[in-house]
Structure 1
Amino acid sequence: MEGFSWKLFLLSCLFAAEGSAQDFGQTQFICTSVPKDVDLCTAAMQNSGPAEDLKTTIIQLRETVLQQKETIVNQKETIKELTSKLSRCESQSLPAAAGPGGRRPGGKNTMGDVSRGTADTLAQLGQTLQTLKQRLENLEQYSRGNNSAQANSLKDLLQSKIDHMEKQVLSRVNIEESKPGHRNESDQRNRVETTLSSLHDRISDLEKGKETRPADRFQLTFPLRTNYMYAKAKTTLPEMYSFSVCLWLKSSTTPGLGTPFSYAVPGQANELVLIEWGNNPMEFLINDKVATLPFSIRDGKWHHLCITWTIRDGIWEAFQDGVKQGHGENLAPYHPIKADGVLVLGQEQDSLGGGFDATQAYVGELAHLNIWNRKLSATEIANLANCNSKVLVGNVFSWTESNIEMFGGATKWTFEPCSSIN
């Protein structure tokens, strides 16, 4: 067969073999020789009878080859994309850039650096929020009816889902506001936190009924150590020559609960601070002077704490669950508590209203913070701890929803003081 093309001969014979990869029904394949210099399609079109089958075979073969080429191109693009994503993941997880203990040299510990792409995290959160919103609509429909048991069950499940999702997102999207290049991520995070707060508020309204619920029956929850989650009093404190501060706390975080509250004034960030930092005992600061408090509350249960102070000789007393646990003197004696400051819950202030450090943030639940500009008696404090007093509230700061605004994902839930003790 010298001078003839073996190419078509071999291909047409190959398709005739048993077990061919392409099923062409009852078509019969014939091996036909074609002169070397003649175009295959032209030769096929000039023949009659079996040549028509050959023409069909060639066209189908070309289509198959084109499809395979397209598949290969798509697979290459997919492999390229996956390789790029794998490279990014590996570069984010490499420990070489970290210093001792896994922290970057000179980096500030924010207790929750981003461990994966913020865009991916927010996209996943968006889907979750849509699901939660739909379930919240169902909850609201249940609450309008008479089946309160089903409504409460659905509410509890939704609350659990939100808490779990919130912890995951906040731990991954803890972005320093001052870092360059993260403004878009920060804006997205703020929108997420606003949505979360809105969901919590709506569920709280369903749970307790805003029209009949007392204004002080709520608690604040700070689920994670961050440098942006906090609450702030809308009013300031007056100048005081004595005071009493009482509150309920529930936490089991170690090491250290963090800072339940801090009061800063111009020129003095530590005018009044309650803090338990690291492995140190709980301390109370007045004008940067320190008193060590004999409290032991890191057991995950609610505890009522009260601290009293008078300017003369700086005498202080500390009460836990209505019982006096310690006292002392010479704590900032003859230093009046200054007015016109900022009262923050959940963070320690290094500057007026800011300068938060995540390592000093409070983690846990907080309720019924009240402040008086006088020293409460032991009987009054015992009545507060045992819920025997119905009208005793702070006269310079009282625990009501209208007095507090929340930021950064801090959440609000129903709280009944003594019935919540466990």
Structure 2
Amino acid sequence: METTKRGFCWKLFLLYYLFVQGSAQDFAQTQFICTSVPKDMDICAATLQNGVPGEDLKTTVMQLRETVLQQKETIMNQKETIRELTSKLTRCEGQSAPETGDARPGGRRKDPGTKNTMGDVSRGPADTLTQLSQTLQSLKQRLENLEQFSRNNNSVQANSLKDLLQTKIDDLEKQVLSRVNSIEDGKPGLRNETEQRGRVESTLTSMHQRITDLEKDQKENRPLDKFQLTFPLRTNYMYAKVKKSLPEMYALTVCMWLKSNASPGVGTPFSYAVPGQANELVLIEWGNNPMEILINDKVAKLPFLINDGKWHHICVTWTTRDGVWEAFQDGVMRGSGENLAPYHPIKPQGVLILGQEQDTLGGGFDATQAFVGDLANFHIWDRKLSVGEIYNLATCSSKAQVGNVFSWLESSLDIYGGASKWTFEPCRQLN
């Protein structure tokens, strides 16, 4: 009996010790003193002798027991809440099935083995429908070009080509709308949205190839410099690469014809990168910013307004002395400035790309910065053209010159990713 009593007192003592130690913040004024007790002495008696009343000790133990029970109940409730939240999170993850995110804002990293013909940005059904509509509009524009070609040339072959193309576009439109409906309705016939999107994109790729094949006959009768490049979508793979690099230049003039109604921003008509500097020479209109010219990563804002869906002729001149620049739209000077990369010559041995902005030499394209629209008659000179020379270019004068550093020829470019070529007559656009 004495042994049992002593064991019980030891337990009370230990519980009291743990309670006091674990509740130091609540009992900041309490001081605990550890006292040695002879082996044969009654623990309860020793406790009382050291100033801890037995009744108070009993009350304290009861309070401790109640606290432990409350904490146990709280822990059980928390465990149940965690299980419920975990279950909900698992269901949400299973429904969303997110893709791997890219480090770029607004972008997605795609499987390198999957060709995305609709761009490098994530899309829901509504976005997919918008992109498909833009693609179909581009194809129909090319059909109108065929009709114009047939009227100008009164060619039976061209009329036959136009009829065949119209039939194929109508067929594609039906196929695309059917697939978009299946995406929006969530029909169970396709396993997931990725597979649905892949089938739609495969159809578009096939259609682009058909049209390209049809256009080959028309291209054979076209002069090498009478063409335009069309970039119908924001992608990270549609572009043209100039076959040769630029020389070192202490002055330059860049001119071209552009047509776009892209928003926000028409994108990057061209970019020139050299080893160690991706932004050696870039023309870009990105987001809600105005169009800019970058030289050695230094920026000048240009007063161009061109995203109205009409053809515009633009030129930018620059000299390394004091970094003086001038901007011309449709033959008229719209702005000028200085201190744009002064005394920095344009470096040689780089890569010149049309339609994309380079983050690395010859690559690192971002779909959000891609050019959307039509581009033609891109020329570069290693000198500053006069106001009269630029006006002749914009008005299609017979005195107009071609670039001595780069001139607009089909043989000077390699085309990638589905960007298409078509006949272009700048003077005809002005009539």
Task: Find the residue that maps to 1:350 and give its secondary structure.
Answer: coil
Residues of 1 paired with 2:234 and 2:330: CA distance?
Answer: 26
Which residue is equivalent to 2:246?
237
Residues of 1 paired with 2:248 and 2:282: CA distance?
Answer: 16
Question: Conserved in 1, the CA contact under 8 Å of 2:267 and 2:285?
Answer: yes
> Compared with structure 1, are the counterparts of its residues 104 and 389 closer, same or farther at alpha carbon in structure 2 (3 Å cutoff)?
same
Task: Find the residue that maps to 1:420 and give its secondary structure.
Answer: helix
Question: Conserved in 1, the CA contact under 8 Å of 2:165 and 2:211?
Answer: no
Which residue is equivalent to 1:373?
382
Residues of 2 paired with 1:372 and 1:167: CA distance?
Answer: 44
> Compared with structure 1, are the counterparts of its residues 196 and 237 closer, same or farther at alpha carbon in structure 2 (3 Å cutoff)?
farther
Residues of 2 paired with 1:381 and 1:105: CA distance?
Answer: 42
**What TM-score do you get using the length of structure 2 for normalisation?**
0.59
Matches for 1:91-170 after TM superposition, within 5 Å: 94-95=95-96, 109-110=106-107, 111-113=120-122, 147-148=156-157, 150-151=159-160, 153-154=162-163, 157=166, 160=169
Residues of 1 paired with 2:354 and 2:162: CA distance?
Answer: 31
Q: How far is 1:230 from its partner?
A: 1.1
> Which letter does structure 2 place at the counterpart of 1:204?
E
Question: Conserved in 2, the CA contact under 8 Å of 1:244 and 1:307?
Answer: yes
Task: Find the residue that maps to 1:262 and give its secondary structure.
Answer: strand
Determine which of 286, 290, 306 is the counterpart of 1:297.
306
Which residue is equivalent to 1:359?
368
Cα deviation 1:28-77 (Å, max 9, x = unaligned): xxxxxxxxxxxxxxxxxxxxxxxxxxxxxxxxxxxxxxxxxxxxxxxxxx
Cα deviation 1:266-308 (Å, max 9, x = unaligned): 0000000000010010000000000000000110001000000
Matches for 1:37-116 after TM superposition, within 5 Å: 94-95=95-96, 109-110=106-107, 111-113=120-122
> Which letter does structure 1 place at the counterpart of 2:217?
L
Residues of 2 paired with 1:288 and 1:255: CA distance?
Answer: 22
Question: Conserved in 2, the CA contact under 8 Å of 1:197 and 1:410?
Answer: no
Q: How far is 1:166 from its partner?
A: 12
Structure 2: give runs of 5+ residues left out of the alignment.
1-90, 108-119, 126-149, 180-197
> Compared with structure 1, are the counterparts of its residues 247 and 406 closer, same or farther at alpha carbon in structure 2 (3 Å cutoff)?
same
Determine which of 292, 314, 326 is the counterpart of 1:283.
292
Q: How far is 1:204 from its partner?
A: 2.7
Residues of 1 paired with 2:422 and 2:94: CA distance?
Answer: 37
Residues of 2 paired with 1:411 and 1:404: CA distance?
Answer: 12
Determine which of 272, 276, 281 is the counterpart of 2:281.
272
Q: How far is 1:227 from its partner?
A: 1.3
Q: How far is 1:418 from its partner?
A: 2.3
> Which letter does structure 2 place at the counterpart of 1:157?
Q
**What TM-score do you get using the length of structure 1 for normalisation?**
0.60
Residues of 1 paired with 2:376 and 2:289: CA distance?
Answer: 23
> Compared with structure 1, are the counterparts of its residues 149 and 399 closer, same or farther at alpha carbon in structure 2 (3 Å cutoff)?
closer
Give the fraction of aligned pairs with identical amino acids, expressed as a percent.
57
> Compared with structure 1, are the counterparts of its residues 219 and 228 closer, same or farther at alpha carbon in structure 2 (3 Å cutoff)?
same
Structure 1: give runs of 5+ residues left out of the alignment.
1-89, 117-141, 170-186
Question: Conserved in 2, the CA contact under 8 Å of 1:190 and 1:408?
Answer: no
Determine which of 401, 406, 410 is the counterpart of 1:397.
406
Question: Conserved in 2, the CA contact under 8 Å of 1:263 and 1:343?
Answer: yes
Q: CA RMSD in A?
A: 4.4
Which residue is equivalent to 2:145?
none
Task: Find the residue that maps to 2:428 and give its secondary structure.
Answer: coil
Q: How far is 1:340 from its partner?
A: 0.7
Q: How far is 1:113 from its partner?
A: 3.5
Matching of residue 204 in structure 1 with residue 201 in structure 2: no
Residues of 2 paired with 1:167 and 1:328: CA distance?
Answer: 49
Residues of 2 paired with 1:375 and 1:166: CA distance?
Answer: 51
Matching of residue 343 in structure 1 with residue 352 in structure 2: yes
Residues of 1 paired with 2:102 and 2:409: CA distance?
Answer: 44
Residues of 2 paired with 1:284 and 1:251: CA distance?
Answer: 18
Which residue is equivalent to 1:312?
321
> Compared with structure 1, are the counterparts of its residues 112 and 236 closer, same or farther at alpha carbon in structure 2 (3 Å cutoff)?
same
Determine which of 236, 241, 249 is the counterpart of 2:258.
249
Bigger Cα Rg: 2
Q: How far is 1:215 from its partner?
A: 0.5
